């Protein structure tokens, strides 16, 4: 873990990568290209450095020793909104990253060429900061505030766990659209098999108890048999 002392106008990039060979190559290559490199090899270090160094850009590996880069990407997208470039080892991971709309600005696949990566980094840095992301989504009497991570019904707070909020957010950002069970699992329970859907069903059940007047006969969070779920206004 290394921390930049001063940036004198140079962009600060937080590199979250547990493979030393990549970490070393990026340190050298990006510094030569005029970036200040701040390195983390775990999500715990990344969270710490995100707060202490306020990077302009994050280069984020998917598979990390203490968790998934996907989760961290979503955290960043829901909070400080520093642009994130996802770095994945397999194209199957890219499909997931793209399919999830987790808020990544771009992605590259390993092995990548440094020149291509830097071109993408510069392109992302040139983009104007966060366009018109919706901060609040309403459905029925419910109001979901993404900045505060809160849900209210007719102005009264409804207590949600972190996972419950994230799952509801997944549905709310696709209001009126079917969200497949597969997408739910991939988004919130990275690595869990499609066959093991009890966790998902439990969370849906709990959400219904909190947002539906009659949880047994839901009108907002409805099941699309054999496919997934849909949140209706």
Rule CB under 5 A: which residues touch Ca ion? 18, 61, 63
Compare residues 30 and 207 and give the one whose CB is closer to Ca ion.
30
Compare residues 61 and 186 and give the one whose CB is closer to Ca ion.
61
Compare residues 18 and 71 and give the one whose CB is closer to Ca ion.
18
30 near 118, Cβ under 8 Å? yes
Q: What is the four-CA torsion angle of 133, 136, 138, 143, rounded to 10 degrees?
A: 160
Here the tokens at position 28 are 């050298």
Q: Residue with CB nearest Ca ion?
A: 63
What CA–CA distance (Å, rounded) separates 174 from 171?
5
Question: Least CB distance from residue 24 to Ca ion, whole Å?
Answer: 14
Question: Least CB distance from residue 16 to Ca ion, whole Å?
Answer: 9
Question: Least CB distance from residue 106 to Ca ion, whole Å?
Answer: 18
The residues, ordered by sequence, that sit 6+ positions from 73 with a Cβ below 8 Å of its Cβ are: 60, 84, 86, 97, 102, 103, 104
Compare residues 41 and 187 and give the one whose CB is closer to Ca ion.
41
Question: Least CB distance from residue 87 to Ca ion, whole Å?
Answer: 8
What CA–CA distance (Å, rounded) separates 42 from 19?
10
Here the tokens at position 124 are 């992302």
């Amino acid at each position: 873990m290394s921390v930049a002392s001063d940036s004198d106008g140079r962009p600060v990039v937080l590199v979250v990568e547990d493979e030393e060979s990549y970490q070393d190559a990026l340190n050298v290559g990006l510094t030569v290209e005029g970036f200040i490199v701040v390195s983390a090899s775990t999500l715990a270090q990344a969270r710490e450095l995100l707060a202490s160094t306020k990077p302009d850009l994050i280069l984020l590996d998917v598979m990390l020793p203490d968790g998934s880069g996907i989760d961290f990407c979503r955290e960043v997208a829901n909070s400080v909104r520093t642009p994130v470039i996802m770095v994945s080892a397999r194209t199957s991971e890219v499909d997931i990253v793209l399919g999830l709309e987790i808020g990544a600005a771009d992605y590259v696949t390993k092995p990548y060429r440094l020149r291509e990566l830097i071109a993408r980094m510069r392109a992302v840095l040139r983009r104007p900061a966060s366009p018109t992301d919706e901060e609040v989504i309403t459905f029925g009497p419910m109001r979901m505030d993404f900045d505060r991570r809160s849900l209210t019904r007719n102005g009264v707070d409804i207590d949600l766990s972190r996972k419950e909020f994230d799952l509801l957010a997944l549905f709310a950002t696709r209001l009126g659209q079917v969200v497949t069970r597969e997408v739910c699992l991939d988004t919130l329970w990275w690595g869990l098999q499609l066959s093991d859907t009890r966790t998902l069903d439990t969370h849906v059940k709990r959400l219904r108890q909190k947002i539906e007047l009659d949880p047994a006969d839901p009108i907002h969070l409805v099941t699309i048999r054999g496919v997934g779920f849909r949140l209706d206004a």
